Amino acid sequence: MGESGDNRFGIDDVRLVKAELMTGQTGVRVTGTSIPEMSDEQIAELKGLVSEYCVAVLPGQPVTPEQHIVFVSRLDPIMFTPGEVPHSQWPDINEVNLASTSTLPPTNGFHTDTSFVERPPSYTCLLPRKISSHGGDTVFANQYMAYEALSPVMQNMLKGLRFKHNAAQLKRLDEAPMEPVSHPAVRTHPITGRKALYITQPQRCSEVEGMKPKESANLLEFLYAHCQHVYAMYRHRWQPDDVVVWDNRCTLHTGVFDHGEEERVMHRVMCQGEVPYET
């Protein structure tokens, strides 16, 4: 295994909520508390679980939009993706409405949210307002595991490398940053101290600084394929009143657009994170 920090937070450390792993290292189910009634200590414990296991599922949480916003704001300050369309009534919410065969983006794939800004989101919280009768899962990929599965030679090569992240596939591209933003290829998580690959879909991660175009393209293609190992994934089948929180600093995710013409409506709220860094 690769390097890791000294702040690991495991299932055995949980005291204030009930938690169980969904796979060996990715995904945790959190129960035993109502989101509107969570204490500051429970919020801190939840953040530790999400940051360690990449994604947490809180089932059976019939929260209102107002409660959703308040909950996310307790994790970190709320941010909104520039270029997306805010909900008409709750501007902190991005309403995601997709049917797989009619509005499927032509180049959808695993990604981290809004990496084309100086301070990308730490956490994203998604909950369903309307789910399909079949399909429409969301899959999460653990980027700690992706980094740790690289050889020491590749890990050393990535030290100090930076990738350029660009805005793409947004509803209002004219409102998004025009210039690419540079982030480290590997970032250190501020809570766990662990290192994770920090890459996203090719349309938004298009260049390795200092490399020739072919070198850059080959490295990014290899890493993007490498970060999608099935053993590092958790696949979530949505149920009514699920609340799912994931950490964009160590997780990639994608929707599975296999639900036909059925409508699938989700509410997304995000938190602003720190400037990515590597130690």
Query: What are 121-180's pLDDT values in tens digits?
Result: 999 999 999 998 888 899 999 999 999 999 999 999 999 999 999 987 666 776 667 789
Name the residue ranges covered by the structural domains of the chain. Answer: 11-272
* pLDDT above 70 coverage of the chain, percent: 91
Whole-prediction pTM? 0.92
Q: Measured in whole angstroms, how far is the alpha carbon of residue 192 from the centre of its chain?
A: 16
Give me the pLDDT at residue 237, please.
95
The listed CATH number (1.10.3720.10, 3.60.130.10, 2.60.40.10, 3.40.50.1100) that belongs to domain 11-272: 3.60.130.10
Give me the pLDDT at residue 169, please.
67
On whether the CB atoms of residues 269 and 125 are closer than 8 A, the answer is yes
Amino acid, single-letter form, for residue 233 = M
Q: Which two tokens stand for residue 6?
A: 């000294």
The whole-angstrom separation of Cα 130 and Cα 169 is: 23
Residues 6+ apart with CB under 8 A from 68: 93, 125, 127, 243, 267, 269
Q: Which two tokens stand for residue 119?
A: 């301070």
Give me the pLDDT at residue 188, please.
98
